[in-house]
Amino acid sequence: MTALPERLLSDPSVRRLIEAALREDLGTGDITTQCIVPADARAKAVLWAREPGVAAGLPLFAAVLAQLSDRVRVRLKVAEGRRFKAGQALLEAEGPARAILSGERVALNLLQRLCGIATLTAAYAAEARLGSRHAQLLDTRKTTPGLRGLEKYAVACGGGTNHRLRLDDAILIKDNHLKVAGGIEAAVELARGAGMPVEVEVEGLGELDQALKAGADSVLLDNFSLAALRAAVKRVAAHNRRGLGPAVRTEASGGVTLKTLRAVAATGVDRISVGALTHSVRALDLSLEFLPG
């Protein structure tokens, strides 16, 4: 990845997000800057990394400042998805001082969160590879409201794979669906009418057998122990060898951490979904400093 995809930069929802964030921060105006900074003052600023990480969302810096002035020029110094070191310059911005001062907090809030997600995802992806070259690391819908597209983009920058972006992207039958639909067999049969692959969340080997019998395309193994995961993988492999239909994929989910991820991957599951990539991330420490003169 070398740049934030044009589809995101031009996405009306991202543009509205930036506009709303600036309205929230500016109110009726940046009083401090308007009082002490001349309207014609120009400045040059550098965004520094105070800790190592993975770049994600840097082009948003220019998108934020462009809402305040079309005369700000931003030059990226690190490509998206690339690692950077503590003390490294990530970008330079030059233009009207008022615009840079008034927009820096909104821009930093976005960049620090997205770089934090990419950095955490890269750590998880590395652990997953140590357990298995086969397992995919997935994100979830446990995202910040309004930021899902950007947060999932950051996951991809860190080496993760995006699961559903929205509820209309795929069919995933979870435990509460099953309670309403009347069980796994009935739910899978009803879901087939949508003409899409069907994934079913199961909470034990008994429910796994039901999902396989019902013809599920994927099974989400929710909060399985390592021993149960290994047994489930063997059971699904045996089912697939019988060739009764397309191969069923396995997905481990629930309580996966950096400490447990390698062992989970080693069980042989196809995919591992981790909500913590987006819902428990720490913002990366970045700093914007104005150069003298």
The predicted pLDDT at position 245 comes to: 80
Same domain, 274 and 285: no
pLDDT tens per residue, range 144-198? 999 999 999 999 999 999 999 999 999 999 999 999 999 999 999 999 999 999 9
Helices then strands (H, E): number in the chain? 12, 12
What band does 243 get if pLDDT is binned at 50, 70 and 90?
Answer: confident
Q: Please tell me the distance from the alpha carbon of residue 257 to that of residue 268, in angstroms, as a whole number.
A: 17
**pLDDT at residue 10 in the model:** 82
The total number of structural domains in the chain stands at: 2
Same domain, 160 and 102: no
Say how far apart CA 135 and CA 120 lie, in whole Å: 17
Write the DSSP assignment of 74-90 as a string of letters.
EEE-S-TT-EE-TT-EE
- Report pLDDT for 4: 76
Does the structure show a pLDDT above 60 at 129?
yes
Distance CA 96, CA 163 (A): 41
Could you tell me if 150 and 234 lie in one domain? yes
Q: Would you say residue 176 lies in a domain?
A: yes
Phi first, then psi: give them for residue 202, nearest 5 degrees. -125, 150
What is the extent of the structural domain holding 65? 6-119+281-290
Q: Decide if 148 is inside a domain.
A: yes
Write down the pLDDT at residue 1.
Answer: 40
Percent of the chain residues topping a pLDDT of 70: 99
SS3 201: strand
In angstroms, rounded to a whole number, what is the distance separating the alpha carbons of residues 161 and 154?
10
Planar angle of CA 6, 27, 45, nearest 5 degrees: 55
CA nearest neighbour of 122 among 5, 238, 254, 281:
281
Q: 240 and 134: one domain?
A: yes
Q: Are residues 89 and 219 in the same domain?
A: no
Neighbours of 164 (CB within 10 A): 17
Asked if 250 contacts 270 with a C-beta cutoff of 8 angstroms, the reply is: yes
- Please report which helix (H) or strand (E) contains residue 207, including its range: helix 205-214
The token pair at 268 is 């042989």
Within a domain: 74: yes
Beta strand extents in 223-283 (DSSP E only)? 249-253, 271-273
Region 195-206: mean pLDDT is 97
Contact, 232 vs 224, CB < 8 A? yes
**Mean pLDDT, range 25-35, rounded to an integer:** 98
pLDDT of residue 55: 97
The whole-angstrom separation of Cα 39 and Cα 51 is: 34
Here the CATH number for the domain that contains residue 53 is 3.90.1170.20
Looking at residues 265-280, what average pLDDT do you find?
97
Average pLDDT over residues 265-274: 98
Q: Both 232 and 286 in a single domain?
A: no
* 1 within domain boundaries: no
From the list 239, 240, 266, the residue with the least C-alpha distance to 252 is: 266
Residues β-bridged to residue 288? 47
What average pLDDT does the segment 228-232 reach? Answer: 98
Tell me the pLDDT of the chain averaged across its residues: 95
72 and 197 co-located in one domain: no
Q: pTM for this one? A: 0.95
Q: Please say whether the beta carbons of 284 and 53 come within 8 A.
A: yes
* Same-domain pairing of 221 and 254: yes
pLDDT of residue 3: 60
| Residue 28 DSSP class | T
Q: Is the pLDDT of residue 2 over 50?
A: no
| Whether the Cβ atoms of residue 217 and residue 249 lie closer than 8 Å to each other | yes
Residue 95: the pLDDT is: 98
Are 130 and 196 in a shared domain? yes
Same domain, 92 and 132: no
Positions marked catalytic? 105, 142, 174, 201, 222
Q: What are the pLDDT digits (tens) for 205-225?
A: 999 999 999 999 999 999 999
Residue 290 · residue 44 · CB < 8 Å? yes
Q: Which pLDDT does position 172 carry in this prediction? A: 97
Burial 117-139 (b: 16+ CB within 10 A, else e): bbbbbbebbebbbebbeebbbbb
